[in-house]
Structure 1
Amino acid sequence: LDLTGEFAVPVTLAVIPALTDGKLVVRLDEAPHATVAIHGWAHRNHAPEDQKKQELGAHRPPEAVLDDLARGLSRVTGLHGARAVPMLVPPWNRIDAGVVSVLGSIGFAALSVFGPPKPAPLAVINSNVDIMDWHGTRGCRDHGLLVQAIIAQLQQAFDGG
């Protein structure tokens, strides 16, 4: 936050509603360039062990998933007020298509996952370059590789893709 503030770079934090509290509110009061999106409810895996992790999938009744998401949006908005943006960032970048189709009905205006956007009934604002090395060091990816990935994304955009 300090670095993004120093260079006036807006940043949106994906916050886990079940785990957040007033401490983050106090910290973000010092970071007017930061907004907060909803990162699922509790970042809890509900998929069977032999499947990829997913909190917002078909492994639970849709009503339970939507209740969690509505509660998460309400909690984050209650804590952060105008700093909260009605955007869902699903844990592990996975969400059931049936859930996506009704996100607007519970107050979400946007969805953000990883990769090229897929058609959806709400705005899709995806990340295309992940700075994290999730499968290796679990830290920042090699800076040279990040620059190459960013250049590739920019080239694709300039080429009309």
Structure 2
Amino acid sequence: MRPGRNLEDRAWRGYHPRAAVPALAAAVVASAALVIGRVLLAGHHPDQPTPLAFYGSVLAVWPLALGRAAYRVVVRTYRLTDRAILVDWGPFVCPESPVWLSNLRAVRSGAGWLGRRLGVGWVELSETSGRVLRLTGVRDPAGFAAAIQALVTAGPAPPPP
């Protein structure tokens, strides 16, 4: 990196809220199963410890699922600049070193069957050193991968005047 030259932003992405839909759907299913189990176990004795434990489990699922999704949406960012991709996973994860465009060997994108319907997926960055970094929860992953590939193909950015 040349001293005195800042990175110029080209695109920003992050963990999109739609990417949390599968986890929230699983929480709905788990909640329904726990409520049904509570009703089946309680029978005519709803104040027994076992049915109350099932009910407590239902209550515990939602703060965890919503908190995890909110945390990812707020803190995960993927910043594409003219020379590098900067990834921030949040304050509780060790910082990720920049992915320099000059060191990229391959850029791939994809999504699961539900992700394709929601318009979210992943972008995988393979460096010449062998490091592979997968960016998850990206809205329009094919478009973001194409933007990265276009900068890689264009070569290094010219120095500022």
TM-score of the superposed pair, with normalisation by structure 2: 0.22
Q: Over alpha carbons, which structure has the higher Rg?
A: 2
Q: Higher relative contact order by CA 8 Å / sep ≥ 6: 1 or 2? A: 2
Greater strand proportion: 2
Higher helix residue share: 2
**TM-score with structure 1 length normalisation?**
0.22
